[in-house]
Structure 1
Amino acid sequence: MTEEEVLSEFRASEALLEGHFKLSSGRHSAHYLQCARVLMDPMRASRLAAALAAKLPRELRAEIDTVVSPAMGGIIIGHEMGRALGKEAMFLERPDGTFGFRRGFGLKPGEKVIVVEDVVTTGLSSKEAMKAVENAGGEVLALVSIVNRSGGDVEFDVPYHALVEITFPTYAEDEIPAELAAVPVTKPGSRK
Structure 2
Amino acid sequence: MKKELIEILCQKSFKYSKEPVFKLVSGKMSQFYVNCKPTTLSPRGMFLVGHLVFDEIKELNVTGVGGLTFGADPIATATAFASELKSRPIKAFSIRKTQKDHGIVKWIEGDMSPGEQVVIIDDVATTGGSTIKAIERARSEGLDVVKAVILVDRQEGGLENIRKHVEDVSAIISRDELIRQWSSDNDS
Provide the TM-score with structure 2 as the length reference. Answer: 0.74
Q: Which has the higher relative contact order, 1 or 2, with Cα contacts under 8 A spaced 6 or more apart? A: 1
Offset from partner CA, 1:84-110 (integer Å, 9 cap, x none): 2222211111226xxx6255x464221
Offset from partner CA, 1:28-86 (integer Å, 9 cap, x none): 21111111111221222111220222133x531xx111112211111111111122222
Letter aligned with residue 107 of structure 2: F
Give the 3-state SS of the residue equivalent to 1:59 in structure 2. coil
Residue 8 of structure 1: aligned partner: 7
Give the 3-state SS of the residue equivalent to 2:59 in structure 1. helix
Residue 163 of structure 1: aligned partner: 172
Residue 183 of structure 2: aligned partner: none
1:78 lines up with 2:76 in the alignment = yes
Structure 1 unaligned spans of 5+: 169-192
Letter aligned with residue 92 of structure 2: A
CA distance in 1, matches of 2:124, 2:139: 21
Q: When the two structures are aligned, how many residues end up with a matched partner?
A: 160
> Which of 108, 121, 125 pairs up with 1:120?
125
CA distance in 2, matches of 1:93, 1:24: 18
Give the 3-state SS of the residue equivalent to 2:121 in structure 1. strand
Query: Is the 2:95–2:134 Cα contact (8 Å) retained in structure 1?
Result: yes
Query: Is the 2:126–2:157 Cα contact (8 Å) retained in structure 1?
Result: no
Letter aligned with residue 90 of structure 2: K
Query: Given the superposition, is the C-alpha separation of residues 110 and 145 from structure 1 closer, same or farther in structure 2, using an over 3 Å criterion?
Result: same
CA distance in 1, matches of 2:97, 2:137: 10
CA distance in 1, matches of 2:176, 2:44: 26
CA distance in 1, matches of 2:80, 2:8: 21
Which structure carries more helix by proportion? 2
Residue 97 of structure 2: aligned partner: 94
Give the 3-state SS of the residue equivalent to 1:45 in structure 2. helix
Residue 140 of structure 1: aligned partner: 145
Letter aligned with residue 23 of structure 2: K
Query: Is the 1:119–1:148 Cα contact (8 Å) retained in structure 2?
Result: yes
Provide the TM-score with structure 1 as the length reference. Answer: 0.73
Residue 26 of structure 1: CA displacement?
Answer: 3.3
1:108 lines up with 2:149 in the alignment = no
Letter aligned with residue 47 of structure 1: L
Cα RMSD after superposing both structures: 2.4
CA distance in 2, matches of 1:42, 1:23: 27
